[in-house]
Structure 1
Amino acid sequence: MAAPQNPRGPRPAGVTVGRVGLYGFLAISAAFFLLPAYVMVVTSLKSMDEIRLGAIFAWPAHFDLSAWLTAWSGACTGLTCNGIGVGFWNSVKITVLSVAFSVIIGAINGYALSFWRPAGAKIVFGLLMLGAFLPFQIFIYPLVRGFAAIGIADSLAGIVLVHVLFGLPLVTLLFRNYYAAIPVELFKAARVDGAGFWRIFLEVILPMSTPMVVVASIFQTTGIWNDFLFGLVFAGRDNLPMTVQLNNIVNTTTGERFYNVNMAATMLAAAVPLVIYFVSGRWFVRGIAAGAVKG
């Protein structure tokens, strides 16, 4: 019995070669990014005696989790040796507060600029976007002097305010573009029914904003969690985030350098953004697609 023929005809050779090339490129790209992560993981699971052998790609002969425990609660960050765990909880406080305030304010800004459009709305939006393109380093000294004058220098309030201010341009742009795709008839119908600014926002607009809330939260969480400069300048000694603590662990040179502890501390510092991306990836793609319209 003859084999059934492909109704579309034989596949062109160029298509097959192109697909092989595409998969080859993807495989090389994945290896390029995954190989350093593999080296970090296996190094963190080795003892220092095994690391000194120099076989950085070799699988650990014996799994040793002591480096992870030391990185969390015993690694030295200068004169203190309480690990990176303190910085973790500081980063949690800073990130949760900063993300909550920036997303809420950004959603309100995007809502106002999309539907209410007060006088000078285009100028305000243009200034916000200008703030997104200016190097934030030029604002550090004026902010330090200003925060010192009002009494919030080296405090949790100061570092949270900095992240909120510098996150507003991006968050406002995301919500404004997202709301531009919502039919304006919904807004007009609510206005006819007598709803005001806050009632329309809370009962009509905000319930439809879940995908963009997730996207904005992911962007903000990643940026704030990975921040080093703002945390170093504005957080103060009692609120140093995890990235600053990681830098202190890696650069503390009192005797032997423990590479397994350094790798474990680095993985712990990167764990939260990775988990967020894996857990909320579907919402992230949906929100990006929904907000990819011209505002």
Structure 2
Amino acid sequence: MAGFVLMPLAVIALNSVRVNEDILRESFIGWPTRLTLENWGTAWSTACINASCTGVKPYFWASMLMVVPATVISTAVGLLNGFALTKWRMPCADVIFVCITIGVFLPPQVVLLPWAIALSWLGLAKSLTGLALVHIIQGTCFTTLFCRNYMINLPDDLIRAAQIDGAGFFRTFWRIVLPLSPPIIIVTVIWQFTFIWNEFLFAVTFSSSDFRPITAALMSLNADDTGVSEYGFGSAAVLIAAIPPLVIYFLGGRYFVRGLTQGAVK
């Protein structure tokens, strides 16, 4: 089953090192007759996307500039929300939690128009900051759910001891809760980074030609001057786009299931 699921990835990887003439002459599925890394260089720096022949490099770094802050901020807000909704017991905590987690179940198509209006009012339409804001708020629903379910298992006695010693909200969070939360932090970082990086609908709707995430840019890879599709550097571009979430997952994957299942019974 694993081999079957990985088969498309293997086909893309093989095509990324095949000469395009071989792909057109034989088929999209086949072994390379001659290995080449030229497709990777073309995809990174010279492939034409719309009217700009700069490769995927600027779109790759644009995605990084959007994904990293959105992941960090949404994770931080989710941790604070989880603490406030479980251990600090703010007024109406259960009602607030339900309102926040409603966003988990809303289809993204439902919020496109409200987000377009809101970004227009804020002057952030078609901008890097606007798209990052969308992902921060959308992602906070997920991070709050994860962090709340994790932190509800933390010992209440630790929080009460800190309060007796005079620690306030942020000091208790920083000194007590945060050092106990690495597993769920890793879960939310992997989840948010992977989801935001691979997200396509918001990327297409709220981006412009000046800023476009790599997932949206891949859809605009042009054929050559003769109109022939360049499957070779197209495959390489897809793999380049897949590298960051794979790296994030392989670095923290061992903690992902462990952190996700802690608190599952609550």
Paired residue for 1:255? Answer: 227
The 8 Å contact of residues 50 and 222 in structure 2, kept in 1 or not, is answered as no
Name the SS of the counterpart of 2:32 in structure 1.
Answer: coil
| Stretch deviating more after TM superposition (282-291 or 102-111) | 282-291
Change (3 A) 1:55 1:139: closer
The counterpart of 1:186, out of the listed 158, 177, 181, is 158
Q: Percent identity?
A: 40
| Stretch deviating more after TM superposition (180-189 or 45-54) | 45-54
Shift, 1:277, TM fit: 1.4
Equivalence map 1:1-295=2 (5 Å): 29-249=1-221, 255-294=227-266
Name the SS of the counterpart of 1:238 in structure 2.
Answer: coil
The 8 Å contact of residues 223 and 230 in structure 2, kept in 1 or not, is answered as no
Distance in 2 between residues matched to 1:30 and 1:210, nearest whole Å: 29
| Stretch deviating more after TM superposition (282-291 or 158-167) | 282-291
Q: Which amino acid aligns with 2:5?
A: F
Name which one, 1 or 2, has greater alpha-carbon Rg.
1
CA offsets 1:48-97 (integer angstroms, 9 cap, x no match): 22112325443322211111111111111111111111110011011101
The 8 Å contact of residues 224 and 230 in structure 2, kept in 1 or not, is answered as no
Give aligned pairs, total.
Answer: 266
The 8 Å contact of residues 250 and 262 in structure 1, kept in 2 or not, is answered as no
| Stretch deviating more after TM superposition (154-163 or 217-226) | 154-163
Name the SS of the counterpart of 2:188 in structure 1.
Answer: helix
Shift, 1:254, TM fit: 6.3
Paired residue for 1:21? Answer: none
Change (3 A) 1:182 1:135: same
Distance in 1 between residues matched to 2:83 and 2:70, nearest whole Å: 20
Distance in 2 between residues matched to 1:73 and 1:203, nearest whole Å: 46
The 8 Å contact of residues 211 and 287 in structure 1, kept in 2 or not, is answered as yes
Shift, 1:291, TM fit: 3.6
Name the SS of the counterpart of 1:203 in structure 2.
Answer: helix
Computed over aligned residues only, the root mean square deviation of the Cα atoms, in angstroms, reads: 1.6
Task: Give TM-score, length-normalised by structure 2.
Answer: 0.95
The 8 Å contact of residues 77 and 252 in structure 1, kept in 2 or not, is answered as no
Q: Which amino acid aligns with 2:49?
A: T
CA offsets 1:185-234 (integer angstroms, 9 cap, x no match): 10011011111101000111011111110100000001000011111222
Shift, 1:150, TM fit: 1.9
Change (3 A) 1:87 1:151: same
Gaps of 5+ in 2: none
Name the SS of the counterpart of 1:248 in structure 2.
Answer: coil
